[in-house]
Structure formats: C-alpha cells, structure tokens
Amino acid sequence: MSPTVFTNVRVFDGSGAEPFEGEVRVEAERIVQLARDGERVSREGALVIDGRGGTLMPGLVEAHAHLTWPSSVEKFVPGMHLPPEELALTAARNARILLDHGFTSAYSAGALSKKLEIVLKRHIDDGGLPGPRLVASSVERVPPVDDAQLDPGEIDEHGRGADSVRAFVKGCAAIGAKSVKFLISGESALQPGASHRLLYTEDELRAAGEQARESGVWLTGHAHAAEAVKLGVRHGFRVLYHCTYADDEALELLEQARERIFVAPTIGIVQATLDASPPPHFDMRHMKEDAAIVLERQRALVPELRRRGVKLLPGGDYGFPFNPNGRNARDLELWVRHFGYTPAEALHAATQLGGELMGMELGQVRPGFLADLLLVEGDPCRDIAVLQDKNKLKAIMKNGRFHKQPGDLQ
C-alpha cells in the first residue's frame, strides 16, 4: 500500500486548538509527518489527496456504543429483540454504519449477545468486514432477582455474591471481551425510581475490581445513583455512564480519580427521548418526565465535572428505535447546546480524549499516531452539525487505509 499525503487541508489536531493550514503524510498504519505554516511533507511514492480546503481531523470515538441495539439510520427496528441470525447481521451492519458516519472507534457499553461483538471485532480487525476499532463487550450484568437452582459447588455467573461476580468477569475475559459492563444502579427510564436503586454490594464490586485487574479487562458502569458512582470509582471502573445524581462526595471522588477514569453522560438518548413522538400505543410519558429531570441535572453536572478536570466523553446510547445507530455525531451538537462546550472543545472530547479511552495512540493528528482520519467538507469548529451529514465526510481512513476515498485525486 502506497503512502498517502493530504494537502490543501486545515488540520484539526484533536487538542482543541483552532484548525491550521497544513499537510499530513501517512505511511502504513501511522501518521508519519505533519507540516504547518507553509511547510510541505514528503510526497515520495505517495497518493496525494487534494483536500480542497476541507478539514482533516482524527476519526471520532463513540464512548457508549451498542452495535447490537438494532435500530439504525438505515433500518428502523421496532423493539429491541431479534432472532440470533438477524442480530448478527444487524450488528455487522451497524458497525459499518458507524464507520460510514465518521466513527473510527467504538467503546462498547454492552451487547445483547454473549460473544457476538467479540466475533465481530475479529472480522473487523481481519479486514473482512467494515467497522470501527472496537473495545468489545459481552452481555450487561444485571443481578437476578432470585438465585438460580444450582448443583453444590456450581457458580452462577449471573448470581449474587462475590464469587458469582468474579466468575462473570473471568468468563468475559476468557471469551475475549475487553469492556465488562455492570448496571451498578437501575434505570428510571425503564422502571420508575430504579436509577436510585443499587444493584450491587460493595463486596461484589470489590470482587469485580480485583478480578478485572487480574484478567486485564476494563470495568464499564451504568451509574445514575450517587452511591453507584462512588462504588464505581472505588473499585476501579474505567468508565462510568450517566452519573446523574452524583453528590458532593461523588464529585470529589471522581475528581481524585480523574487521571484514570472517564465519564460519559450519554445525552443523546436523553434528548432523543424528549424529542420522540411515539405512536399512540406506546406511552412514553414517564420516560419523557425522567429525561427532563436527567437533562436538567446533567446541564449542571457536566460543567462542574469539567471544572474539576474530569475527562468527559460524548457517546449517547444510540441503537434504540428513536435514537438510531448512525446518528452518533449528534451528541457533539448537544454538548455545545447543553454543556457550554465550543465545537472545538466537543471535538477534542470525541477525538483526543476518546483515544485515551480506547487506550491506543489514537484521536490526534500527530506523527507516530495511528492514521484514523476524516476529511470533512467545511469546518466543524464553525458548524459542529456538519459531522452529522455523512456526505460531508469526503474521506474516511482507518488504520492508514481508506474506508471512503475522495473521488477527486490530484
């Protein structure tokens, strides 16, 4: 594969700084040269892409991906459950859709199948199927109401108690999952009041934290309740979603852990719930009431966490019928609208900070970094919504290879 040079572009490098005129050279899977201020990169042996004054930026990172949540901008699926064959094909399709919309990385927030994402990741990494880099997950862990009937000595991976939790984490690691998702507290959108109920004990989550470290996997937590946030921080979770009811103590703990933890408020699903106009048989009144409360709290929470230096990430629970996969870039516009971010700050969160979440040299236009790049017609730092139009993405490169190549070559 020949090297690639992008010329006649304005570079948004992921840092949050204003775009600058520059050139970029890619060799194999990495960015090897970045020139600015009228300097040129080497053109030796390269395919030269004239960016026509567009913006070259890092690929976007979705911090709360659900490739197995079925609905997408291409296909509306009523409900959430599909037969396994349909689910597999739908998830593969959703992976391609995320990449088509500029998301070159996705951190999974849980799947509807035990192994599907892990197999899908392998197919994507082999180059056999298009899709983002994937931190794959297994099913979300929700503790059972009643313990299953077991033989003596047998451990239920989904049962109560430290041993069961340990077995679950170990089992996820054994099949190749990297993100292990726990619902630390419930979800009021689905069951009134549940966001305030803890689903795990301190002992169980301590066991999860210990086993995750031993197995080399990352804990990922759904946490609305203040106590859920605290449990997540104390037991080494890598990313906590929502954090809606974080109190002063929870904020303090998040601030202390800010070097190792990420928070993703998932505003996309909240806004989508408020905007939805469901058919008459589908009563969303309760969900809308809850979403209004969550929105109000998060509009205060996110600026406060940012002030404390906590790393905050876009990612909005896309995949529901009223919040389809492929609409993920809308989160950035919502960050500007609700959280007081400038477009450049929102882009920084979705690129450089997203790269940190993925744990790879990603999310920056910087020599040595992996070449996941978007060539955008227009300037997302002026108009963040431009990223929601996939036709404005003139080139999409992942790992130095084009997923989408501009038609006009120099």
Q: Whose CB is nearest to Zn ion? A: 317
Distance of CA 216 to the CA centre of its chain: 20
Q: Which is nearer to Zn ion, 109 or 386 (CB)?
A: 109
φ and ψ of 218, to 5 deg: -105, 135
Which among 179-187, 295-303, 315-323, 382-390 is the span making contact with Zn ion, rule CB under 5 A? 315-323
In whole angstroms, the minimum distance from the beta carbon of 357 to Zn ion comes to 15
In whole angstroms, the minimum distance from the beta carbon of 91 to Zn ion comes to 15
Q: Which is nearer to Zn ion, 47 or 80 (CB)?
A: 80
Is-contact 374 56, C-beta < 8 A?
A: yes
Q: Which is nearer to Zn ion, 174 or 190 (CB)?
A: 190
φ and ψ of 219, to 5 deg: -90, 135
Q: Which is nearer to Zn ion, 317 or 345 (CB)?
A: 317
Which among 89-97, 116-124, 310-318, 359-367 is the span making contact with Zn ion, rule CB under 5 A? 310-318
Q: Which is nearer to Zn ion, 143 or 315 (CB)?
A: 315
Contacts of 92 (CB under 8 A, 6+ apart): 120, 123, 129, 131
Is-contact 317 354, C-beta < 8 A?
A: no
Q: Which is nearer to Zn ion, 64 or 230 (CB)?
A: 64
Q: What distance in Å separates the CA atoms of residue 158 and residue 147, rounded to the nearest whole number?
A: 9
Is residue 283 exposed (0-12), middle (13-18) or buried (19+ Cβ within 10 Å)?
A: exposed
In whole angstroms, the minimum distance from the beta carbon of 66 to Zn ion comes to 6
Q: Which is nearer to Zn ion, 313 or 376 (CB)?
A: 313
In whole angstroms, the minimum distance from the beta carbon of 317 to Zn ion comes to 4
In whole angstroms, the minimum distance from the beta carbon of 242 to Zn ion comes to 9
Q: Which is nearer to Zn ion, 317 or 372 (CB)?
A: 317
Among 23, 27, 117, 317, binds Zn ion (CB under 5 A): 317
Is residue 142 exposed (0-12), middle (13-18) or buried (19+ Cβ within 10 Å)?
A: middle
Instruction: Provide the 3-class DSSP secondary structure of residue 131.
Output: coil
Q: For residues 269, 337, 194 and 109, what is the CA-based torsion angle, rounded to 10 degrees?
A: 50
In whole angstroms, the minimum distance from the beta carbon of 37 to Zn ion comes to 44
The site that binds Zn ion (CB under 5 A) totals a number of residues, namely: 2
Does 254 contact Zn ion by CB under 5 A? Answer: no
Instruction: Provide the 3-class DSSP secondary structure of residue 149.
Output: coil
φ and ψ of 51, to 5 deg: -80, -5
Q: Which two tokens stand for residue 55?
A: 């913006």
φ and ψ of 285, to 5 deg: -55, -45
Is-contact 225 241, C-beta < 8 A?
A: no
In whole angstroms, the minimum distance from the beta carbon of 11 to Zn ion comes to 33
Which among 98-106, 312-320, 323-331, 369-377 is the span making contact with Zn ion, rule CB under 5 A? 312-320
Ranges within 98-117 binding Zn ion (CB under 5 A): 109
Task: Report the chain's terminal Cα–Cα distance, integer Å.
Answer: 18
In whole angstroms, the minimum distance from the beta carbon of 276 to Zn ion comes to 16
Q: Which is nearer to Zn ion, 97 or 223 (CB)?
A: 223
In whole angstroms, the minimum distance from the beta carbon of 157 to Zn ion comes to 21
Place of tokens 């290879």: 401
Q: How far is CA 173 from CA 23, 75, 138, 208, 219, in A?
A: 41, 32, 9, 12, 11
Q: What distance in Å separates the CA atoms of residue 209 and residue 201, rounded to the nearest whole number?
A: 12
* Strand-pair partners of 135: 107
In whole angstroms, the minimum distance from the beta carbon of 109 to Zn ion comes to 4
In whole angstroms, the minimum distance from the beta carbon of 27 to Zn ion comes to 37
Q: What distance in Å separates the CA atoms of residue 234 and residue 236, rounded to the nearest whole number?
A: 6
Q: Which is nearer to Zn ion, 100 or 317 (CB)?
A: 317
* Strand-pair partners of 218: 179
Q: Which is nearer to Zn ion, 109 or 226 (CB)?
A: 109
Q: Which two tokens stand for residue 397?
A: 């490169």
Q: Which residues bind Zn ion (CB under 5 A)?
A: 109, 317
